Amino acid sequence: MDITLEQAEKIVAAAKTKAKEIDTLMNIAVVDRGVHLVAFARMDGAWLGSLDIAIKKAKTAKLFNINTGDIGALSQPGASLYNIELSNGGLISFPGGVPVKNTAGEIIGAIGVSGSSVENDHAVAEAGSLAL
Amino acid sequence: MDITLEQAEKIVAAAKTKAKEIDTLMNIAVVDRGVHLVAFARMDGAWLGSLDIAIKKAKTAKLFNINTGDIGALSQPGASLYNIELSNGGLISFPGGVPVKNTAGEIIGAIGVSGSSVENDHAVAEAGSLAL
Amino acid sequence: MDITLEQAEKIVAAAKTKAKEIDTLMNIAVVDRGVHLVAFARMDGAWLGSLDIAIKKAKTAKLFNINTGDIGALSQPGASLYNIELSNGGLISFPGGVPVKNTAGEIIGAIGVSGSSVENDHAVAEAGSLAL
Amino acid sequence: MDITLEQAEKIVAAAKTKAKEIDTLMNIAVVDRGVHLVAFARMDGAWLGSLDIAIKKAKTAKLFNINTGDIGALSQPGASLYNIELSNGGLISFPGGVPVKNTAGEIIGAIGVSGSSVENDHAVAEAGSLAL
């Protein structure tokens, strides 16, 4: 099963609601199982540089079926996946990317959020991922 | 004035309505004046290859403030802008990209649509551009 | 409001004056709000490798509305934005990029300077940014 | 001998004067013998997509020490340099790029201009190239 546009839009809407709730301006991207964009929204005034980061976070989360921040722990100097960020056209390994599951628990895509602290980015991504 | 997310979402919604009306499956992208993505939607079952084309059409339309198909007429072999498509990281010069104006007539962004014939792509892009 | 060419040229001129004052040879780039180049100057004898860095510094400063050096503090190993430099086609996260504000205090673009120590690069960028 | 910044700025100024004279809005780029940017100016309201084209025209003109339009005649389907535009990270083979010579007749760089018809682009580039 792949994510539908209706599901992706529900996720983006939930992420926007959470972003406003914590007073942040976010870029929000949702990708499918093949890491291709399904839906995207950039809130007015959000950092322009976060556009690419939001998309890369969503891709990274789906490429490895993992929260992006979990990769960052392994990609530091001396760690086992040092500089893995250079693969796949550029990964983002700090928090803000979260896999999206359907009600059966299968991963059907991922959400990436960027525009604030990594804690806020992750909180908004998680809120989005739980919308289904 | 730059396009707002609310305006971009209105444009995407109008384009989706038109796409369904003419029984097509589209990728729909909206960019701001600086050709950066504001909103995007890929309808379920739409060609995956049209994702990049929709974004490139939106960018091309804003980069030159013109419908993309008008560039194609000038970029043919022997014409004055032959191979201009190789500039700007890749342009798309066939129909489906249309500048977006606000009610004051100022260009504030552009929409790019891909997923069907270029006639259908243009019709959907135009419907989107007229939503404001 | 976007930066005008006249403003950008005033910024480049002020940066050149400062560069000469502290006896350095600089590459100086000014971008608009959409991070597209408006004006550029490379002083005779300035490092060729600093051309790309000056442009990337200007882009980085505008992409996040921040002095580039402030990103570097967050992108180190173990810090929250580790390897963010790989996003957006390549960021520069050491000093020398500064947002440019108009007299109303709105960010209308950014300046990036490269060619000497990062302290000198920043001093020249700041001098440029204060020219309006 | 390589072009100096002072010479490049004189060329940009002459090109701007010509652009205003014929009522056009141009992107103007000057590169050195190594095809690296020395000076650049984008006039207010000029097409954003012409930024990359102006730089590519200047590079193309210096890469082959030729007016860019002369390459276009050879790069058409069936001609000897078919699709040469794909080399060097992207060439532009229509008019608007012109080599720049010093008073001794040596090529010291090139100017590239984009923003109007190819005839106007070439006229402005030529006016710039004759400023020394």
Q: Among C130, C124, C131, which Cα is nearest to C21's?
A: C124
| Calpha distance A68→B111 (Å, rounded) | 31
The shortest CB-CB distance from D53 to any of B35, B77, B87 is to: B87
Confidence of residue D28 (pLDDT cuts 50, 70, 90): very high
Q: What is the pLDDT of residues B54-84, one digit of tens each?
A: 999 999 999 999 999 999 999 999 999 999 9
pLDDT at C82 over 90: yes
List the end-to-end C-alpha distance of chain C, in Å, as a whole number. 14
Q: Do chains D and A touch (3 or more CB pairs under 8 A)?
A: no
What is the rounded average pLDDT of the residues A108-118? 98
Q: Count Cα neighbours of A122 within 13 Å in the Cβ-side half-sphere.
A: 14
**ipTM greater than 0.90, yes or no?**
yes
The beta-strand segments (E) located in C43-106 are 97-101
Contact assignment for B41 to A9 by CB distance below 8 Å: yes
What is the rounded average pLDDT of the residues B31-37? 98
Q: What is the pLDDT of residue B57?
A: 98
The beta-strand segments (E) located in chain C are 27-32, 37-42, 97-101, 107-114
Q: Do chains D and C touch (3 or more CB pairs under 8 A)?
A: yes
Q: What is the pLDDT of residue C104?
A: 93
* Token pair belonging to C115: 């060619």
Supply angle C-alpha D127, C14, C72, rounded to 5: 110
Confidence of residue D7 (pLDDT cuts 50, 70, 90): very high
pLDDT at D13 over 80: yes
Supply angle C-alpha A43, A49, A52, rounded to 5: 85
What is the rounded average pLDDT of the residues D70-82? 95
Confidence of residue B117 (pLDDT cuts 50, 70, 90): very high
Contact assignment for B41 to A4 by CB distance below 8 Å: no
Contact assignment for C35 to B33 by CB distance below 8 Å: no
Per the structure, the count of domains in chain A is 1
What is the rounded average pLDDT of the residues B96-104? 96
Q: What is the pLDDT of residue D21?
A: 98
Contact assignment for B41 to A38 by CB distance below 8 Å: yes
What are the chain B neighbours of D91 within 8 Å (beta carbons)? Answer: 86
Q: What is the pLDDT of residue B86?
A: 96
The shortest CB-CB distance from D85 to any of B63, B64, B86 is to: B86
Distance from CA of B68 to the nearest CA of A (A): 22
| Closest residue in C to D9 (Cα–Cα) | C41
Helix residue ranges, H only, chain B: 5-21, 50-63, 68-72, 118-129
Q: What is the pLDDT of residues A47-80, one digit of tens each?
A: 999 999 999 999 999 999 999 999 999 999 999 9
Contact assignment for B88 to D53 by CB distance below 8 Å: yes
| Calpha distance B125→A53 (Å, rounded) | 27
Task: Report the residue of B5, B7, B28, B43 to disrupt the A interface, i.e. the one with the largest count of A CBs within 10 Å.
Answer: B5
What are the chain C neighbours of D36 within 8 Å (beta carbons)? Answer: 42, 48, 51
Q: What is the pLDDT of residue B1?
A: 72
| Domain containing residue D109: CATH number | 3.30.450.150
A9 inside 8 A of chain C by CB: no
Distance from CA of A80 to the nearest CA of B (A): 34
What is the rounded average pLDDT of the residues D25-54? 98
- Counting residues of chain B whose pLDDT is more than 90, the rounded percentage is 98
What is the rounded average pLDDT of the residues B8-27? 98
Decide: helix, strand or coil at residue D78: coil
Q: What is the pLDDT of residue A1?
A: 74
Question: By residue range, what is the domain housing residue D117?
Answer: 5-129
B1 inside 8 A of chain A by CB: no
A47 inside 8 A of chain C by CB: yes
pLDDT at B123 over 80: yes
Kindly provide the b/e burial profile for residues D109-118, where b requires at least 16 CB atoms within 10 angstroms of the residue's own CB: bbbbbbbbeb
Task: Report the residue of A3, A9, A17, A42 to disrupt the B interface, i.e. the one with the largest count of B CBs within 10 Å.
Answer: A42
| Calpha distance A2→A12 (Å, rounded) | 16
What is the rounded average pLDDT of the residues A5-13? 98
Task: Report the residue of C1, C32, C33, C108 to disrupt the B interface, i.e. the one with the largest count of B CBs within 10 Å.
Answer: C33
pLDDT at D1 over 80: no
What are the chain A neighbours of B59 within 8 Å (beta carbons)? Answer: none
Contact assignment for B82 to D92 by CB distance below 8 Å: no
Contact assignment for B36 to A51 by CB distance below 8 Å: yes
Tell me the whole-structure pTM to 2 decimals: 0.97
Spatial strand order of the sheet with D27-32 comes to: C97-101, C107-114, C27-32, C37-42, D37-42, D27-32, D107-114, D97-101
In the stretch 79-108 of chain D, residues with CB closer than 8 A to chain B read: 83, 85-86, 90-94
The shortest CB-CB distance from C40 to any of D39, D43, D44 is to: D39
Q: What is the pLDDT of residues D94-130, one digit of tens each?
A: 999 999 999 999 999 999 999 999 999 999 999 999 9
The position carrying tokens 């390994």 is A93
